[in-house]
Amino acid sequence: MTDGFGVYVHVPFCARRCDYCDFATWTDRAHLVDAYVDACVTDLRRREDEGRARPATTVFFGGGTPSLLEADQLAAILEAIARRPGAEVTVECNPDSVDPHKLHAYRRAGVNRISLGVQSTAPHVLAALGRTHERGNVVRAVEWARVAGIASISVDVVYGAHGESMSDWRRSIEDVLELRPEHVSAYALTVEPGTPLGGRVATDATPPPDDDDQAAKYELADDLLGHAGLEWYELSNFARTGHESRHNLLYWSSGEYLGIGCAAHGHRRGRRWWNVRTPERYIAAVRRGRSPEAGAEILDAPTRADEALMLGLRTRHGVEVPDGSAGRAAARLVDSGHLERRDGRIRLTRTGRLLATAVTTELVGGDRTPAARWQSVESSAR
């Protein structure tokens, strides 16, 4: 477990909901923004007064669309978070909702990393995903962030949308590389029930993503990004040396973090909890001096060990070679080319990364793992 401490702030507001998104976000709650920001600040200060928070090594504003907040609103929340010197502070941004003034204000407040949701640079693919931005907006957003002095820029892309050819995907990666980002997250599109995309797939109006197509696109991204100096360090994440997401590494190393805002999760000393889902309920709970937590669970030692293995195996660092049934499964997976052994640790090969869910299930389940649980490609979503 890492000695770092993270703070995640959930901003649940969006101008438009993407067709594939099933996150806790709303497009009709703009009238709640001021009250929500006040509630986040109050919650943070109350937790610090009660000794339930400590200086953060990482802060992540996610959503939703955090960049929809006014710069001084985001700065007010950040000011309420005690941070260690050199803390990583990330804000997820939509290219359509940033401008030079906002990015300069972010930097003055302590933001040193932004994550831009690009998804694709092909107009027809963006339309299939329900995205509205144009490539020019992305280029301008990156230029403005550089001028503002934000040291680390991450770009999110998604592959596997209906109508996306291999050449479309190659062009999207090449366009992203022209921006010279320090970090790229490449996610396989997943279809979630209850989303517009899920509805279209359920009624056969749109075919589901093809496993073989997604596997080929992952391999292409791995080749192009690696050649450009962005090495994989987690299944869906690629970075230049020193620009890995420290906040996400905290999650993947079973570290401790505080969740602020509706639907946010936290983890401390083997206890994991989650807040009420809607902004209205979160605001009401904080105003009444009550905990906004909706539920919690205590992770026993075997569960924590299994989670550490599952999360650690997602990363390039891998995990220590397990013993018992998991160790025997690891030996089989090394022989089959899905894992490689190095310095007393095991990690996924590229073939293994394409089958990461199945490999992990094999390790955790040992000899009990049914073959039917094998899948052809790992899908991730932030």
Which of the two residues, 80 and 54, has the higher pLDDT score?
80
pLDDT of residue 376: 26
Q: What is the mean pLDDT of residues 228-237?
A: 98
pLDDT of residue 154: 98
Per-residue HEC secondary structure of the chain comes to CCCCEEEEEEECECCCCCCCCCCCCECCCHHHHHHHHHHHHHHHHHHHHCCCCCCEEEEEEEECCHHHCCHHHHHHHHHCCCEEEEEEEEEEECHHHCCHHHHHHHHHHCCCEEEEEEECCCHHHHHHHCCCCCHHHHHHHHHHHHHHCCCEEEEEEEECCCCCCHHHHHHHHHHHHHCCCCEEEEEECCCCCCCHHHHHHHCCCCCCCCHHHHHHHHHHHHHHHHHCCCEEEECCEEECCCCCCHHHHHHHCCCEEEEECCCCEEEECCEEEEECCCHHHHHHHHHCCCCCEEEEEECCHHHHHHHHHHHHCCECCCEECCCHHHHHHHHHHHHCCCEEEECCEEEECHHHHHCHHHHHHHHHHHHHCCHHHCCCCCCCCC
Quote the tokens at residue 145.
């962030």
pLDDT tens, position by position, 63-76: 999 999 999 999 99
pLDDT tens, position by position, 85-94: 999 999 999 9
pLDDT of 373 higher than 60: no
pLDDT of residue 168: 98
pLDDT tens, position by position, 260-305: 999 999 999 999 999 999 999 999 999 999 999 999 999 999 999 9
pLDDT of residue 364: 87
Q: What is the mean pLDDT of the chain?
A: 92
Q: What is the mean pLDDT of residues 199-206?
A: 94
pLDDT tens, position by position, 99-117: 999 999 999 999 999 999 9
Which of the two residues, 365 and 167, has the higher pLDDT score?
167
Q: Which residues contact 167 (CB under 8 A, 6 or more apart)?
A: none
**Confidence band (pLDDT; 50, 70, 90) for 2?**
low
pLDDT of 226 higher than 50: yes
pLDDT of 312 higher than 90: yes
pLDDT of 380 higher than 80: no
Which domains, from first to last, does the chain contain?
5-251 (3.20.20.70), 302-373 (no CATH)
pLDDT of 252 higher than 50: yes
Distances (CA, A) of 199 to 80, 128, 213: 41, 13, 21
Long-range pairs, 26-35, Cβ under 8 A, ≥24: 26/278, 26/279, 29/279, 29/280, 32/279, 32/280, 32/283, 33/68, 33/69, 33/73, 34/73, 35/283
Q: What are the two backbone dihedrals, phi and then psi, of residue 370, each rounded to the nearest 5 degrees?
A: -75, 140
